[in-house]
Amino acid sequence: MAKTRLLIADDHAVLRSGLKLLLNSETDMEVIGEASSGIEAVRLASELAPDIVLLDISMPGLNGQAALKILKSEHPEIKVLVLSMHEDESYVHEMLQAGADGYVPKKAADAELLAAIRATVKGEHFIHASLTKNLIPEFRLKQDFHNGTKSLSQREREVLYLLALGHTNQETAERLLLSAKTVETYKQRIKDKLGIQGRSELVRFALQNGLLDKVETAP
């Protein structure tokens, strides 16, 4: 089985060393390069063609967001998983809208980072649960959605919103006071109405239609 080829982009050498040791200990992963700046990350991505770039946001010269936009423009086939100390939801929104395939806080457990990498390899968007826990739990979704969003009921839009933020079926069910089975039914209904398949397409659709923009609290 081919290993997932990883490029680590972070300006802290100690962190890069620790990540490299962790990732190379996995039988399905291999670190093929390290970058200490956004400029170096873009250059090495072109030279080494990694499957995934683990990208920090705060780096000298060219920051992570700028590097991400260049990477996605020049190498759309490369997945980018943001690994950052920033946990404010504004950073999550900005990086996802810039094209990130996932977002994990640096304080996440080793097992969670590995799970995020494996999910990203499969084409899934991964947002660590701790990054969405403070998002507004009660909200009023915009009514002027484009494309097929008008075909969704209010409840279906709520389910789509939470799933797109990275919540599991069970977490979505708990927030909306539903059963996990009911959430799965809603999810399948959403996919059928919108003509989409996996979670990554749900996230992409939500981003393109403004569903993940900050929303107002319900009156």
Higher pLDDT, 177 or 134: 177
Range of the domain at 69: 4-129
Residue 113 resides in a domain: yes
- CA neighbours closer than 13 Å in the CB half-sphere of residue 30: 11
pLDDT above 90 covers what percent of the chain?
35
Q: Could you tell me the pTM of the whole model?
A: 0.63
> In this predicted model, what pLDDT tens digit does every residue of 27-79 receive, in sequence order?
999 999 999 999 999 999 999 999 999 999 989 888 988 999 999 999 999 99
Q: Residue 140 — very low, low, confident or very high, per pLDDT cuts 50/70/90?
A: very low
Do residues 78 and 111 share a domain? Answer: yes
Instruction: Give the mean pLDDT of the chain.
Output: 81
User: Could you tell me the CATH number of the domain that includes residue 157?
Assistant: 1.10.10.10
Pairing outcome for strands 79-84 and 52-55: parallel
| Domain boundary, last residue among 97, 129, 161 | 129
Per the domain annotation, does 20 fall within a domain?
yes
pLDDT for the residue numbered 218? 30
In 10 A of CB 47, how many CB atoms?
Answer: 11
CATH code (residue 88): 3.40.50.2300
Q: How many domains does the chain have?
A: 2
Is the alpha carbon torsion for 53, 56, 59, 62 positive or negative? Answer: positive
Q: Is residue 8 part of a domain?
A: yes
CB contact at 8 A, 9 and 31: no
Helix (H, G, I), strand (E, B) or coil at 44: helix
